Every structure is written in structure tokens, then in C-alpha cells.
Amino acid sequence: MSLSTALKTGDVTALPSRRDEDWRWTDLRGLIRVLPEPAPKFDGEVAAGPFAGLADGEILFVNGRHVATSGQGDVLALRFVAATDKASQAASYAVVVEPGASLTLLESHEGRAAGYISDVSLDIAVGEGASLTRIVLVEDDAEAVDVVTARVELGAGASFAQTVLTSGARRQRIETHVAHPGAHAQARLDGIYLLNGQRHADQTTVVTHDGVDGVTSQLTKGMVADQARGVFQGRIIVQPGADQTDARMGHHALILSDKAEIDAKPELLIFADDVACAHGNTIGALDEEAVFYARQRGIPELEARAMLTQAFVGEVVERIEHAGAREIAAAWVAKQLGREE
């Protein structure tokens, strides 16, 4: 059951539905009655992406088709652009980071049309001792359906650091699977979601520790306003024998309206004995005392709330090591919250 299968076969019954446990909060079958036509080849100009100027090279997909690759280096922009209204598109791409190499992948999902359905599938291999930083910036149309699935395989001693930034869509799922060999490899899986209106965003991660001595650290923070819905599903599996695994997962979210919703399912499935695993999950409102304190100093209520929300998710931004990407993430958060300098 997947969106990509449904798009390939045209069979809506192949769509994941609420009967699939892993998709119960991101029902596609109930939403999509008819699959739209595949998007046509796009001949127009595509404006610069959100990471323009930061990357040495760019790999560009438009309407599900690979249209250009330019430049090279260890900072690459990977762009998936939806350019046609009410059409469907599917793309897949493979990324291999050679042993010992280092790559920063600045991935953007750019909705430049309305009401499209998009499926992107990535296969990522991070070789022995290699490192990959993956920043995923998802800016979808409010009526779009978007599923991004990445399968990441880490080599011994590899490091993988991911930060997903999303403002949601009609239905949206950013799913990441990490095959973790242990063996001094490190994975960091972070995310920020800032949702308003009727937007929905689902960040799902599955990390499987297969060998001794692996580290996973996760921090996702989000805010939902209006009638928006945020979903966090984090699963960490520690297989038998994967001793000395150190896995920590945190999901913390703010609900700013009675009609907004957060669904969270942190899961630690531990089949080894000698491990350090922890998870924390909190959902709450802004501290009204802090809001009053800021207002007493002259800051209007909406600005005070935005400032406190920005500070709340700022912790995730600070974990991005790549300075340029960190600045873009901070600016994106400020823009989403209406706090542009």
C-alpha cells in the first residue's frame, strides 16, 4: 500500500488508508477519490530555489522528471518542483556518499502549483566513515498531497544528520527509514513543523539498530494553529545483539487552538540488553505568564506568541551544523511565524 503504487497502477485501492496502522493519522484513501492525470513535461522557466547561492551544484526535478543537473561539489541542492495544477507526479532518485566523503544535501520540495499530488522516493547510501547532512525544506500548496520517503543505509562509522522543515499540505508525509549498523555510526533525525489553516504534516521515522555501538538522536518540535494537524511517529528498533546502542528521541509540540490536533506515537522496540534508550513527548500551550510578561514590556500579543514559538522551535534550528543551512532554516521559521526582520 503506497502512493507510488497507486500512481503507477492508477488503482486508488492501493492508497494507504486509516486501516493501515502506520497510516491511521494520514489517510490518503479517504481523501483521494480519483487519481489525477500525470503532470505533463514542463517547458517554462523555473525560478531559483530556496537554497540558491548556497549550493555548489543543483539537481532539478520538475513535475516528476529530472530536467537538469549542474555544477558539482560537496554541497548540492536537490529540488523537486510541482509546476502543474491538479496533476500527479512521481520521482525517485538515489544518492550515494562514497566511503570517507562528506555531502550536504539541501533538498527542497517546492509547490509552485495548486492541488497536485506528488510522490518522491529516495535511496540514500552513506558509505563507511562518510557523512551526510540532509536538510529537507517542504513548502507545499495548501491543497496538495505530498509523500516523501527516504531509505537511508549507513555504513560503519558513518554519520547522518537530517532536519525536516515543513509547513504542511492538505495531506503530507515525510518518512525516513534508517538502517543503522551500529559500529560507531551516528544518526540525527530532527524536524520542525509549523502548521496553520487546515494543513497537515506527518513526520514518520523508523531507525533500525542492527549492530553494537550506534547512536541515534532525534528532536522534533512543532506548532499547530487553527484546524491544523501534526503527526509524529518515531520508531527506534534495537535488534538482538545491538548492544551499547544509545538512542534518544524527543517530540515536543505547541497547540495554539482548540481545533488543532497533534498525534504522536514514539516507540522504542528494544531487543538487546545493554542499551541506553529514552524518549520524551510533550504537548502543551504557550506559557501564558510568559506571554503576559512580554506584553507588559510593550510587545503586542500576536508578536509575543510568535516570538515565544520561534524560541521554542529554535532549539532544533541550532542543531544544524552547516551555517548557511542553519541561517536559511532560521529565516524560514521567522517567515512562517510572520517575524521577518
Q: Which residues of this protein are in contact with another protein, per CB under 8 A?
A: 287-290, 292-301, 303-304, 307-308, 310-312, 314-315
What's the grid cell of residue 10? 492508477
How far is residue 316's CA from residue 221's CA, in Å, rounded to a whole number? 7
DSSP annotation of 100 reads: T
CB of 295 to another protein, least distance (A): 4
Signed CA dihedral, 128, 130, 135, 138: sign only = negative
CB of 297 to another protein, least distance (A): 4
Q: Are 111 and 62 in contact (CB under 8 A)?
A: no
CB of 300 to another protein, least distance (A): 5
CB of 318 to another protein, least distance (A): 9
Burial code (b: 16+ CB inside 10 Å, e: under 16) for 272-308 equals beebebeeebebeebeeeebeebeeeebeeeebbbbb
How far is residue 127's CA from residue 284's CA, in Å, rounded to a whole number? 40
**Pairing of the two strands 159-166 and 215-224:** unpaired
Q: Are 195 and 223 in contact (CB under 8 A)?
A: yes
Cβ atoms within 10 Å, residue 80: 27
CB of 76 to another protein, least distance (A): 31
CB of 257 to another protein, least distance (A): 18
CB of 136 to another protein, least distance (A): 23
CB nearer to another protein: pick between 45 and 288: 288
**Burial level of 53, CB count in 10 A (0-12/13-18/19+)?**
exposed
CB nearer to another protein: pick between 72 and 296: 296
